[in-house]
Chains A and B, each alone.
Chain A
Amino acid sequence: MTVALSVQDVHVTLGQNHVLKGVSIDARPGEFVTLLGASGSGKSTLLNVIAGLQGIDRGHVAFDGTNVEKRPPRKRGVGVVFQSYALFPHMTVGENVAFPLRAARRPAAERAKVAREMLELVQLGEMIGRRPAQLSGGQRQRVALARALAANPGILLLDEPMAALDKQLREQMQVEVTRIQRQVGITTVSVTHDQAEAMTMSDRVAVMRDGRFVQIDTPENIYRKPATEYVARFVGEANLFPARGGELLPDGVTDGRTGTAVIRPEDLRVLTGAEPADAWSVSGVVRLLSFQGSRFRLEVVSDTGGRVVCSLPPQTDAGTLLDGNRVRLGCAHPDRVHVIAATANDDAQELVVA
Chain B
Amino acid sequence: MTDRSLLRAIGWYRTPIIAIGLLASLLFFVPFLVVVATSWTSGSFILFPPTGFSLQWYETVLTDRQWLNSFWLSVVVAVISTVAAVLLGTLGALGLTRIRSRALQRWVRTLFIAPIALPPIAYAVGLWSVDRRLPFLDDTLVSLVVGETLLAVPYVFALVSSGLAGTDPSLRPAASTLGASWPMILWRIELPPLLPSILGGALFAFTVVFDEVVLSVLLLPPGTQTLPLKMFTASQEAFSPELTAASTMVSLLAILVLGGAQLASNRRNRAARLRRKASA
Q: Which residues of A line the B interface, CB within 8 A?
A: 48, 51-53, 72-76, 78-80, 82-84, 86, 88-90, 99-100, 102-104, 130-131, 133-134, 147-148, 151
Contact = CB atoms under 8 A, between A and B. Distances in A.
24 contacts: A48-B173, A52-B177, A72-B176, A73-B176, A74-B176, A74-B177, A74-B178, A74-B179, A74-B180, A74-B181, A76-B177, A80-B173, A82-B173, A84-B168, A86-B168, A86-B174, A88-B189, A99-B180, A100-B179, A102-B188, A103-B178, A103-B180, A103-B181, A148-B178
Contacts of B174: 80, 82, 86, 88
Nearest to A76: B177
B83 interface: no
Contacts of A78: 177
A223 B245 CA distance: 85
Given A88-B171, A90-B193, 11 more contacts: A53-B176, A73-B176, A74-B176, A82-B174, A84-B170, A89-B168, A89-B193, A99-B180, A103-B179, A134-B276, A134-B280
Contacts of B177: 51-53, 73-74, 76, 78-80, 148
A228 B29 CA distance: 77
B170 A82 contact: yes
Contacts of A90: 192-193
Given A89-B193, A90-B192, A90-B193, A133 B179 contact: no
Nearest to B172: A86
Given A74-B176, A80-B177, A103 B184 contact: yes
A326 B19 CA distance: 76
A134 B279 contact: yes
B175 interface: yes
B98 interface: no
B275 interface: yes
A104 B170 contact: no
Interface of B: 167-168, 170-171, 173-181, 184, 188-189, 192-193, 275-276, 279-280
Contacts of B276: 133-134
Interface of chain B, main secondary structure: helix
Of B168, B174, B177, B181, most A-chain CB atoms within 10 Å = B177
A298 B79 CA distance: 76
Of B167, B168, B174, B189, most A-chain CB atoms within 10 Å = B174
A53 B177 CA distance: 8
Contacts of A104: 179
A53 B179 contact: no
Contacts of B175: 88, 99, 103
Contacts of A48: 173
A317 B217 CA distance: 95
A90 B163 CA distance: 14
Given A88-B189, A151-B179, A130 B279 contact: yes
B55 to A, nearest CB: 47
A130 B178 CA distance: 20
A151 B179 CA distance: 9
The 6 A-B pairs of least Cβ separation, nearest first, read A86-B174, A103-B179, A134-B279, A100-B178, A86-B170, A103-B180
A130 B280 CA distance: 11
Contacts of B181: 74, 103
A234 to B, nearest CB: 27
Contacts of B189: 88
Of B171, B175, B178, B275, most A-chain CB atoms within 10 Å = B178
Contacts of B188: 102
B275 A131 contact: yes
A70 B175 CA distance: 19
